[in-house]
């Protein structure tokens, strides 16, 4: 436990090898499943893809959650079973609501594959509130210029989801959610925004949360309704992620999130028997894992 009362828990991410690149996964953790609605938090890269190579995540299903892909560098091509085809580029937001079920793939265009690229970003899931777990699937894309950006005391801030620092994101969420990127010069500080539950993740650089020092790759879960400031020890990029706590428990299995184990079993059987809608134009998919 850190020395002051601002930080409740420090989470060192687990590294997962996805074949083409590795990710650092902070949530879920055995000590903390979620912060606000955030139930999955992956940091991708930075990864260098040589010409002729690229991300190739075959079609796979989701239920009971919404996904956010947020890039700092590079490009990913999103395709889904609703028929959307959307390149994701730095600063833009893809908000995909799985609800009762959606299938998507994450790949690259032939042009990106031919030239190679550097890829760096975050993939997060938010669990849906109980009343929205079985909503119809949906997809919204918000280009980078639609995401509000402000400067507060020299800190460059983009509010990706929710409201903070005097601005509000246009992304419509199913529960009170806060997600913000903050870039800080050495010695600059930013106030911790208001949220029922909140974590700060260090993407790059090093920071101090009041008197506690954190390096890149650490997720600090703050005390509920914490107030104070974060100060950059070096050039730093951080993310605030959280929001209102969701009611009830959630179960995670592979790409599925639900309040019901029976619902997860049905989703597993549906994918095993290919009863989900397919991604138009794609026949390759990720089989149901053995466990």
Three-state SS for 100-121 is CCEEEEEECCHHHHHHCEEEEE
Provide the 8-state DSSP code for 169.
-
Instruction: Tell how strand 229-232 and strand 236-243 pair up.
Output: unpaired
Quick one: residue 217, left, alpha or beta (phi over 0 = left, psi -120 to 50 = alpha)?
left
Which pLDDT tens digit goes with each residue over 149-168? 999 989 999 999 999 999 99
The low-confidence residues of the chain, meaning pLDDT below 70, are: 1-5, 19
SS3 240: strand
Dihedral (CA of 270, 273, 275, 276) sign: positive
pLDDT at 36: 98
Cβ(142)–Cβ(171) below 8 Å: yes
Report CA torsion sign: 116, 58, 14, 137: positive
Which 3 state secondary structure label does DSSP give 99?
Answer: coil
Any alpha helices (H) in 52-179, and if so which ranges?
Answer: 110-115
Predicted pLDDT of residue 252:
97
Q: Phi and psi of 55, rounded to 5°?
A: -60, 135
Q: Which two tokens stand for residue 125?
A: 């899931």
Could you give the 3-state DSSP secondary structure of residue 146?
helix
Count Cα atoms within 13 angstroms, Cβ side, for 224: 4
Alpha carbons 128 and 138: distance in angstroms, whole number: 13
- pLDDT value, residue 3: 46
Task: Give residue 274's pLDDT.
Answer: 96
pLDDT tens-digit map of 81-111? 999 999 999 999 999 999 999 999 999 999 9
- Exposed / middle / buried, residue 266 (Cβ in 10 Å: 0-12, 13-18, 19+): middle
Q: How far apart are CA 20 and CA 54, in angstroms?
A: 8
Q: Give the three-class secondary structure for 20.
A: coil
Task: Take residue 59 and report the two structure tokens written for it.
Answer: 């079609």
254 Rama sector, left if φ>0, alpha if ψ -120 to 50, beta otherwise: left
Separation CA 224–CA 274 (nearest Å): 42
């Amino acid at each position: 436990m850190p020395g002051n009362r601002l930080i409740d828990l420090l989470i060192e991410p687990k590294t997962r090898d996805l074949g083409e690149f590795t990710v650092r996964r902070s949530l879920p953790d055995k000590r903390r499943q979620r912060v606000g609605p955030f139930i999955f938090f992956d940091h991708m890269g930075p990864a260098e893809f040589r010409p002729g190579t690229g991300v190739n995540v075959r079609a796979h299903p989701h239920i009971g959650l919404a996904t956010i892909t947020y890039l700092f560098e590079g490009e990913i091509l999103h395709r889904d079973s609703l028929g959307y085809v959307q390149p994701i580029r730095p600063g833009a937001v893809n908000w995909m609501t799985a609800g009762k079920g959606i299938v998507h793939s994450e790949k690259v265009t032939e042009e990106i594959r031919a030239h190679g690229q550097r890829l760096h970003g975050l993939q997060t899931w938010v669990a849906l509130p109980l009343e929205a777990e079985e909503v119809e699937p949906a997809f919204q894309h918000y280009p980078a210029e639609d995401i509000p950006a402000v400067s507060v005391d020299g800190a460059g801030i983009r509010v990706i989801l929710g409201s903070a620092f005097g601005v509000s994101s246009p992304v419509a969420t199913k529960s009170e959610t806060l997600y913000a990127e903050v870039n800080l010069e050495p010695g600059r500080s930013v106030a911790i925004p208001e949220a029922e539950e909140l974590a700060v993740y260090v993407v790059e650089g090093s920071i101090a949360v009041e008197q506690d020092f954190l390096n890149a790759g650490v997720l600090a879960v703050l005390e509920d309704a914490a107030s104070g400031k974060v100060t950059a020890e070096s050039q730093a990029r951080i993310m605030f992620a959280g929001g209102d706590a969701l009611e009830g428990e959630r179960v995670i299995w592979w790409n599925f999130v639900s309040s019901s184990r029976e619902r997860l079993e049905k989703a597993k059987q549906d994918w095993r028997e290919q009863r989900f809608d397919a991604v138009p134009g794609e026949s390759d998919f990720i089989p149901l894992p053995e466990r």
